[in-house]
Chains A and B, each alone.
Chain A
Amino acid sequence: QVQLVQSGAEVKKPGASVKVSCKASGYTLSSYYITWVRQAPGQGLEWMGWITAYNGNTKYAQNFQGRVTMTTDTSTNTANMELTSLTSDDTAVYYCARGLDAFDIWGQGTMVIVSS
């Protein structure tokens, strides 16, 4: 069964960093791009960027340039997204999704709460 399973919820203080993982099963990570999308409480969906495990190439949304790093570990079929310098505005559910464009499979989401 093709699925993406994400790491658990996180609570962070302002200024800290968070790393969210996304483990692919049922397919090889390097065969598809992984996109990251976030959703603030009660809000819509915001595209953050993508990574390809094939060669490590990335593309980040301008809003996150300099604060986000996406990586992959092909040995564990896992993609990771690290966001630094967190503020309360980063409180959101973070999703990984398979694909470059019309993302077909989504992880279950990881809640990240930023609070002092």
Chain B
Amino acid sequence: DIQMTQSPSFLSASVGDRVIITCRASQGIRNDLGWYQQKPGKAPKRLIYAASSLQSGVPSRFSGSGSGTEFTLTISSLQPEDFATYYCLQYNSYPRTFGQGTKVEIK
């Protein structure tokens, strides 16, 4: 199975901060990676697919980059509604695997 390791697991930040979350795959997955945002009691919401393609309707302050084994999700200017848990997902091979999550909290 491909292991997806996110860092950090927890992040404390202020409104307006630039936030970077990293996801590392245990083997190369080309650009077969998505990023999801999940708020308490809600289903995950897709933000990014194919490593860097922005989901329609998602604010442009979210961006993704990377290929192979190293990926990043960047929030250029953190907004109050962005406090949530973020997950990466690899869909290069089976079983599909998620990162363990990064919780972004208010500083």
Instruction: Give chain A interface residues in 46-73, CB to chain B under 8 Å.
Output: 46-47, 59, 61-63
B34 in contact with A102 (CB, 8 Å): yes
Known: A59-B94, A62-B95, A102-B89. A45 touches B44 (CB 8 A): yes
Q: Does A7 contact B (CB under 8 A)?
A: no
**Tally of chain A residues near chain B (CB < 8 A):** 19
A102 in contact with B46 (CB, 8 Å): yes
A59 to chain B, nearest CB (A): 7
Summarize A's interface: helix, strand, loop or mixed: loop
Known: A47-B96, A62-B95. A106 touches B87 (CB 8 A): no
A89: chain B residues within 8 A (beta carbon)? none
Q: B-side interface residues toward A, CB under 8 Å?
A: 32, 34, 36, 42-46, 49-50, 55, 87, 89, 91, 94-101
A-B contact pairs, 25 of them (CB 8 A): A35-B96, A44-B87, A44-B98, A44-B99, A45-B87, A46-B98, A47-B96, A47-B97, A59-B94, A62-B95, A63-B95, A95-B43, A95-B44, A100-B91, A101-B96, A102-B34, A102-B46, A102-B49, A102-B89, A102-B91, A103-B46, A106-B43, A106-B45, A107-B43, A108-B43
